[in-house]
Amino acid sequence: MKVNALIFGGDARQIEVGRLLMESGIHVYMAGFDQAENELMGAQVIKNEDLSYKSMDLFVLPVSGVKKGGVVDAPFSSKPLFMTKEIAESLSEDCIIISGIATPVLKSIVQRDVLYIFEREDAAILNSIPTAEGALMIAMQKTNHTIHGANVMVIGFGRVGTTTAHLFHKVGARVTTALRETGKFARAKEMNLHPIYMESIIDEIEYADVIINTVPALILTEAILARMNPASMIIDLASEPGGTDFEAAEKAGIQVIHALSLPGKIAPKTAGEILGHVLIGAVKEWKKERGL
């Protein structure tokens, strides 16, 4: 039985996902990739008006999901790409809708279960590797000193925060980790990091040369930014809207980079392979759990 998958927008990672899906015997259609047809050998690049949504078994949205106004990231498309309620309703009941992350807009458009890849432990941990490497690359490019010996503060000690703190520690930085849980405090201690609780950021931030935020909530407020060394920099890895008061940072003359979708920018092949393998495994589990 032929299985059809529609990859609906996305960056270079989705090209690799498409390749892996084809290798597993799935017929792949791609919307929003008309400017990358040479890289899509075997996949069928189609225009929105030519789509037959009803025949799709898998509907794959980008890692970033659906943004305000229904916008779907599609850097390889000559036209904007939008996810609508009409599209969602035209998909068959058996079609599995897949997205990297959940967004309020996606939840309002799709009135059924969605398979969110980055809610899975395997995807989040593996994807944290290219994210951390991207943060290190930015820090090396945008500072005038070595990372070895630098004071680096990593805010958040989840999957991305832990991998990032570990990597910076390995290259010789003095790493402070800001966190909330006592268990994670102990883990950071065990890793030879310097853990602090979130409430202490305002007292410790003046000593940091590089601040890396991984928390998707406003952490670096105007009051905290006022205590920073203006020569320091912020790399905000958190999904939109980030965890930094960007306007206050600009007024204070602080260099801040909102580094979104780093895996797709610095290591699209590896990141796409991670995404593709996890996606294939996740779909199998999804079907098994639902007896499909």
What pLDDT was estimated at residue 145? 93
- The sign of the dihedral angle between the CA atoms of 274, 14, 96, 27 is negative
Distance CA 133, CA 131 (A): 5
Mean pLDDT in residue range 25-41:
81
Q: Which CATH number fits domain 123-260: 3.10.20.340, 3.40.50.720, 3.90.1150.10, 1.10.8.60?
A: 3.40.50.720
pLDDT category at 189 given cuts 50, 70, 90 is very high
- Averaged confidence pLDDT in the chain: 91
pLDDT category at 239 given cuts 50, 70, 90 is confident
pLDDT category at 43 given cuts 50, 70, 90 is low
In terms of pLDDT, which residue wins out, 259 or 49?
259
What percent of the chain is predicted at pLDDT more than 90?
A: 76
Tell me the pLDDT tens digit for each residue of 151-187: 999 999 999 999 999 999 999 999 999 999 999 999 9
Distances in Å between the Cα of 206 and the Cα atoms of 135, 151, 227, 233 are: 20, 10, 6, 11
Spell out the residues 6+ positions from residue 42 whose beta carbon is closer than 8 angstroms to its own.
19, 22, 28
Helix axes 12-23, 268-289, angle to 10 degrees: 50
Q: What is the pTM of this model?
A: 0.83
Tokens describing residue 215: 């928390």
Spell out the residues 6+ positions from residue 237 whose beta carbon is closer than 8 angstroms to its own.
131, 135, 160, 164, 212, 213, 214, 259, 262
Q: Does residue 104 carry a pLDDT above 80?
A: yes
Domains 4-119+267-289 and 123-260 share a fold: yes
Mean pLDDT in residue range 243-269:
92
CATH class of 4-119+267-289: alpha beta
In terms of pLDDT, which residue wins out, 183 or 34?
183
C-alpha angle 159-173-146 in degrees, rounded to nearest 5: 125
* Domains in the chain: boundaries: 4-119+267-289, 123-260
Tell me the pLDDT tens digit for each residue of 106-158: 999 999 999 999 999 999 899 999 999 999 999 999 999 999 999 999 999 99
